[in-house]
Amino acid sequence: MAEAAVTGRAQVYTAQPGLKGVAGDFASDQRAFKNVSWGKAMMWIFLLSDTFVFSCFLIAYMTARMSTTVPWPNASEVFALTIGGVTLPLILIAIMTFVLISSSGTMAMAVNFAYRRDRRKTAILMLVTAILGAAFVGMQAFEWSKLIHEGVRPWGNPWGAAQFGSSFFMITGFHGTHVTFGVIFLLIVARKVWRGDYDTERRGFFTSRRGSYEAVEIMGLYWHFVDLVWVFIFAFFYLW
C-alpha cells in the first residue's frame, strides 16, 4: 500500500514498485494520469477502444476486397454524380471530405477561445462545427439513398462483388453514427457555454468546475478523432 508522508498540509505519496504499488495507488484514490483529468483520460480510453473497432472494420474490408475473385466495383464510377450533363467522379465525396475537415478547424478555434474564456465565440464556433457535421451526415444520407436506388444492398450490388454493399453500409454507417452523436453533443455543450454554465458552475450534465471549459476540449478530442477516421475511410474505400 502507498506510504504517505505528511509535510504541512500537503501529502506526498511514495508508491511501492510492481503490481503491489499499482494496487496501492488505486486503493488510495490516486489518479492514474497525474496531470490529466478523469474526463480526458476516459475520452482517450474510449477513443483507443474505438480505434480498435474501426481498424477491425477496415482490415476486414481490405481482406474481403483482396480475397474475392469477383471484380470489385470502380469507386470513380459508383460514386460519380451527373451535373449538367457532365459526369463528375467522386465529387460528392470530395465535398463531404472538405466539409468534415473544415469542421476540425472550427472545432480547434472553439477550443482556443474556450481557453480564453470567450463564451460567445466558443459557442458560435461549436455551432458552426455542428452545422458542418450535420451537412456531412445529410450528404451521406443522400449518397446512401442514391446507391440504394441504384440497387446496392448489403448482400449484393449490380457492379460486381457482393461484399461491396455490406462493407460500404457497415463502415460508412458506423462512422456516420459517430458524427451524428458528435453533432448532438456539440449542440448540448454549445448551449451550456452560451448560457455561462461553466462560469457559474450550474448543476447538470457535462458541467465541470467553475471557470473550467474542459468539456469543450473533450468534445474537440472526439471530433478530431471522427475526422481522422474519415481520412482513412476516404483513402481505403474511395481512392483504392
Q: What would the DSSP string read from start to end of 10-29?
A: EEEEEPPSHHHHHHHHHHTT
pLDDT surpassing 70 at residue 58:
yes
Q: What percent of the chain has pLDDT over 90?
A: 58
> Measured at the alpha carbon of residue 211, what is the angle toward residues 210 and 217, in degrees to the nearest 5?
110
CA distance 163 to 58: 13
- Residue 208: which pLDDT band, with cuts at 50, 70 and 90? low
More confident residue, 34 or 93: 93
pLDDT of the residue at 5? 43
Residue 46 has pLDDT above 80, yes or no: yes
Query: How confident is the model at residue 212, as a pLDDT?
Result: 72
HEC secondary structure over 77-123: HHCCEEECCEEECCHHHHHHHHHHHHHHHHHHHHHHHHHCCCHHHHH
Q: Which residues, 6+ apart, have CB-to-CB distance to 30 below 8 Å?
A: 2, 13, 15
| pLDDT grade for 95, boundaries at 50, 70 and 90 | very high
- What b/e string do you get for 54-68 counting C-beta neighbours within 10 Å, with b at 16 or more? beebbeebeebbeee
Question: Helices 214-233 and 38-67, interaxial angle, to 10°?
Answer: 10
- Average pLDDT value for residue range 161-185: 95
Mean pLDDT in the chain? Answer: 86
Task: Please give the share of the chain, as a percent, with pLDDT higher than 70.
Answer: 82
Please state whether the predicted TM-score (pTM) of the whole model is above 0.85: no
User: Domains of the chain by range and CATH?
Assistant: 1-30 (no CATH), 37-238 (1.20.120.80)
Q: How confident is the model at residue 30 (pLDDT cuts 50, 70, 90)?
A: low
Residue 49 has pLDDT above 50, yes or no: yes
